Amino acid sequence: MRGFATACGAATVLNAVSTWKGCAFGINLKTSAEVELNRSGCIRGDVPFVDTTLIEKCAERVLQHFGCDDGAVVRTWSEIPVASGLKSSSTAANAVVLATLDALGEEMDLVDAAKLGVAAAREAKVTITGALDDALASMLGGVVVTDNREMKLLKREEIDSAVLLLVPNRQAFSRDTDIKRSRAIAPLADLAFELAMRGDYRRAMTLNGFAYCAALGLSAEPQLRALEAGASGVSLSGTGPAYAALISQDGIASLEEAWSDLGGRIINTRTNNRSATKGRGV
């Protein structure tokens, strides 16, 4: 009656707000979940100082899918900064969906499991597009390209790189995004989508980053410094405020120095190509 799961976060190649086409890649920052079933008929999130609506709805949707009227207590622990653009919501949703499946002793295709989390995120109103790209990059690992309007996975492949993240000391919630200005850059998003479909993820994310920084009134300085330090691709992740750079191992020190006086937290990690997993100790 108790289940566990772990999923990794993701970063943006192409934000789907503008055209509903999105692209994201997994990063090696983890969120773990525990779901404990009970006979109360009530689903309760137990995560201090966090709105637990999303994780409660994720557990509820899985239980409803299997015709189970049990209650549950849902807990999560995460390495991912909240409301930073690093897919903390999508990752928590994936972890809770899989932990609920683990508690029930049930199996589900990972893409279908991610879509349950996307539906819960829409119901909880923590996403504009449904964020299928973010959900699948977290659930499957690797880099994914999606059509979020049609809820289709268009492409997935592995990507291997060091990743440096700059996380400013503020939060930005997806629901507060200026949709009108984001959709004004649709022609640039279309170009980024074409690059991503050709496998040129680094140029796609760099184009995406400059376009969305302009649309959302955010600084492009972190991107320029990353490119000067040798990053092969860099973007605002999601709607910010975090920035993500793909860089060689030899370039990490230079980029850390370039970002050091911008404020916020610098996180050194790598791309993740492994799928989310059920069970303890993962």
> What are the tens digits of pLDDT across the range 92-111?
999 999 999 999 999 999 99
Instruction: State the average pLDDT for the chain.
Output: 94
Are 108 and 42 contacting, i.e. CB atoms less than 8 angstroms apart?
Answer: no
The answer on pLDDT for 178 being more than 60 is yes
Q: How confident is the model at residue 182 (pLDDT cuts 50, 70, 90)?
A: confident
CA–CA separation, 213 vs 206, rounded Å? 11
The answer on pLDDT for 171 being more than 90 is no
State which residues form the domain around 191. Answer: 1-282
Instruction: Say which amino acid occupies 204.
Output: A
Domain CATH number, residue 119: 3.30.230.120
Whole-number percent of the chain with pLDDT over 90: 87
> Average pLDDT in the 240-258 region?
97
DSSP one-letter code for 145 = E
The 10s digit of each residue's pLDDT in 113-132 is 999 999 999 999 888 777 99
Which tokens in the block code for residue 74?
A: 């849902």
The 10s digit of each residue's pLDDT in 133-151 is 999 999 999 999 999 999 9
pTM of the shown model: 0.95
Please state the domain count of the chain. 1
The 10s digit of each residue's pLDDT in 205-219 is 999 999 999 999 999
Whole-number percent of the chain with pLDDT over 70: 96
**Helices and strands in the chain: count of H runs, count of E runs:** 9, 11
Burial class (CB in 10 A: 0-12, 13-18, 19+), 170: exposed
pLDDT for the residue 243: 97
> Average pLDDT in the 174-202 region?
89
Name every residue whose Cβ is closer than 8 Å to that of residue 263 and which is 6 or more positions away in sequence.
168, 169
Q: Can you name the residues that pair with 117 across neighbouring β-strands? A: none
